[in-house]
Structure 1
């Protein structure tokens, strides 16, 4: 999917392919989504999303990692 992010996506839950919440959309700036990750998210998932720097408060979500966008959530592809 070629995700098209808008400001309407702010506040949506980010869920993995199994439906588990991994974060919340903090902001959308210029079509780029910034995610506040769930504190329980594993380092493996963070690594696969390219979120390696543990000092960040929010992380950029790349379009290629998005399977679908609904009114309530953004679902990630199976990692």
Structure 2
């Protein structure tokens, strides 16, 4: 299950993000979105967790929690198919 994390501190690393989510279960992947021009964080990222139950607990427990210097917002990521209209 793919999870969107917003309002990340620009200094937060993928390892720190992964560690925060691993408390709640196995993390399949972890990516912080970065600027192409300079490689700096855009302030959001994605974590993928294979077990929906673990993802649900992580979203519930980590939303509005502090990570680094910022209070992060955590929710389920919408798939591209969910956002496309015909």
> TM-score by structure 1 length?
0.35
Q: Which has the higher helix share?
A: 2
Using CA pairs under 8 Å that are at least 6 residues apart, name the structure with larger relative contact order, 1 or 2: 2
Q: Which has the higher strand share?
A: 1
- Kindly name which structure, 1 or 2, has the bigger radius of gyration based on alpha carbons: 2
> TM-score by structure 2 length?
0.33
